[in-house]
């Protein structure tokens, strides 16, 4: 059983940056693909970015192209999401998720964190 705990959310002005972290415990971290999803009020949860077991990255290019970067540190059991040039439409609860394989579908992920709020406004 994998437990995921996100941190690093908060309030930032448009154009600013945040770095989200997600620490995993209770499993062999390197056996999992990790991803970040987000959910804004009144909207469905959507895929943001993912990283496979071997480090290959996948992004929702329409929404985060060139602005967000996902990375993982297997030694620390942590996955990161570096977010730059933030926009008001990036405001959402951001969730970390783990799965045996990397896809962009939330239904394929077995483990989820509790989420961290990101608010982008002036």
Please choose, from the candidates 93, 87, 83, the residue with its C-alpha nearest in 3D space to the C-alpha of residue 118.
93
> How many angstroms separate the CA atoms of 41 and 58, rounded?
24
Residue 21 in 3-state DSSP? strand
- pLDDT of the chain along its 122 residues, tens only? 899 999 999 999 999 999 999 999 998 999 999 999 999 999 999 999 999 999 898 888 788 879 999 999 999 999 999 999 999 999 999 999 999 999 999 999 999 999 999 999 99
23 contacts: CB under 8 Å, gap ≥ 6: 4, 5, 7, 76, 77, 78
CA distances, 88 to each of 45, 63, 80 (Å): 17, 12, 21
């Amino acid at each position: 059983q994998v437990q995921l705990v996100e941190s690093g959310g908060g309030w930032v002005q448009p154009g600013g940056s945040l770095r989200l972290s997600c620490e995993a415990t209770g499993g062999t971290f390197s056996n999992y693909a990790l991803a970040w999803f987000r959910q804004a009020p009144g909207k469905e949860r959507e895929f943001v970015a993912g990283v496979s077991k071997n480090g290959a990255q996948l992004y929702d290019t329409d929404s985060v192209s060139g602005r967000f970067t996902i990375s993982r540190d297997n030694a620390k059991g942590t996955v990161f999401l570096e977010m730059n040039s933030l926009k008001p439409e990036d405001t959402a609860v951001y969730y970390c998720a783990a799965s045996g394989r990397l896809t962009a579908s939330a239904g394929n992920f077995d483990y989820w964190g509790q989420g961290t709020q990101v608010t982008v406004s002036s």
